[in-house]
Amino acid sequence: MFNIQKKTENGFDKIVLIDKTSKTFAEIVPSCSAILHAFTVIKDEKEFNVIESYQSEADFRNNVTSKGFLGTRLSPFVCRINKGKYHFAGKDYHIQKYYDRNNALHGMLYDQSFTIIDQHANEDRAHVSMKYEYRGTDSGYPFNYDCIVTYELEKDNKLNVITEVINKDENKIPIQDGWHPYFKLDGKIDDLQLQFHSKELVEFDEALIPTGKLIPYKEFDTAKNLGDIFFDNCFTLDLQKQPICLLRNTKKNIQVEIHPDESYPYLQFYTPSHRNSIAIENISGAPDAFNNGMGFKTLSPGESVTFKTSYKIT
Q: What pLDDT score does 76 carry?
A: 98
For 66-122, what is each residue's pLDDT tens digit?
999 999 999 999 999 999 999 999 999 999 999 998 999 999 999 999 999 999 999
Q: What pLDDT score does 32 carry?
A: 97
- Residue 105 burial (CB count, 10 A): 22
Angle CA(126)–CA(112)–CA(13) in degrees, nearest 5?
50
Query: Residue 39: which H helix or E strand, with range?
Result: strand 35-43
Q: Cis peptide leading into 76, omega within 30 of 0? A: yes
What share of the chain has pLDDT > 70, as a percent? Answer: 100
Q: What pLDDT score does 101 carry?
A: 85
For 187-219, what is each residue's pLDDT tens digit?
899 999 999 999 999 999 999 999 999 999 999
Q: What pLDDT score does 253 carry?
A: 95
Q: What pLDDT score does 40 carry?
A: 98
CATH level 2 (architecture), domain 2-313: Distorted Sandwich (2.70)
Q: Does 184 have pLDDT greater than 90? A: yes
d(CA 133, CA 146): 5
Banded pLDDT at 254 (limits 50, 70, 90): very high
For 275-300, what is each residue's pLDDT tens digit?
999 999 999 999 999 999 999 999 99
User: Sign of the CA dihedral 5, 21, 128, 176?
Assistant: positive
The distance from CA 298 to its chain's CA centroid, rounded to whole angstroms, is 20
Contact assessment for residue 45 and residue 10, using Cβ atoms and an 8 Å cutoff: no
Instruction: Write b or e for each residue in 204-235: b if 16 or more Cβ atoms lie within 10 A of its Cβ, otherwise e.
Output: beeebbbeeebeebeebeeeeebeeeebebbb
d(CA 288, CA 281): 15
